[in-house]
Amino acid sequence: MLRFTKDHEWIRIDGDIGTVGITPFAQKKLGDLVFVELPAVGAKLDQGQTVCTVESVKAAADVYAPVSGEVVAVNQRVVDELGLVNAAPTGDGWLFKMKIRNAAEVDELMDERAYGLIGK
C-alpha cells in the first residue's frame, strides 16, 4: 500500500516498516539528480521533519518524514547510482526505511487517488 504526502513523498507500508522515497512527480520537477544526502540509521523522526536532501541541476529539495519513527535502513545505491531515483522513484530509487512509531499517522496520508488530484 502506497501513501503520499502533500510534499510529494511516498511511503510503502509493510507491517510496522515504511519504505520512503520521492514521487515520480517530484523527480520529474527536479530533473536529473546530482546529489543525495541520506539520513543516519537510528535517526528518530517526527512526522513532517526534514530527513534528507536531494539535489538536481535545477534545485535542491528537502525530503520530509511522512510519519514519525526511526530510520532502520538507507539505500546507499541511490548515492552511488543517482539515476535510480529518476528511473524508478517508487522502486529501486527508494531513499530510506523507517520503523513507524504511530500507525495512526499513516491514515492521515493520501491514497493514490487523492494524491493524483494534487500530484499532477
Q: How many domains does the chain have?
A: 1
Q: What is the pLDDT of residues 98-117, one digit of tens each?
A: 999 999 999 999 999 999 87
User: Is the pLDDT assigned to residue 119 strictly greater than 80?
Assistant: no
In a domain, 112, yes or no: no
1 CB burial (10 A radius; 0-12, 13-18, 19+): exposed
In a domain, 108, yes or no: no
In a domain, 111, yes or no: no
> Residue 117 in 3-state DSSP?
helix
Q: What is the pLDDT of residues 15-58, one digit of tens each?
A: 999 999 999 999 999 999 999 999 999 999 999 999 999 999 98
Q: Report pLDDT for 117.
A: 77
Please give the Cα distance from 18 to 110 (Å, whole number).
15
In a domain, 41, yes or no: yes
Q: Report pLDDT for 1.
A: 82
CATH number of the CATH domain containing 22 = 2.40.50.100
Range of the domain at 29: 2-103
In a domain, 109, yes or no: no
Q: Report pLDDT for 40.
A: 97
In a domain, 79, yes or no: yes
Note whether 67 and 11 are within 8 A (CB).
yes
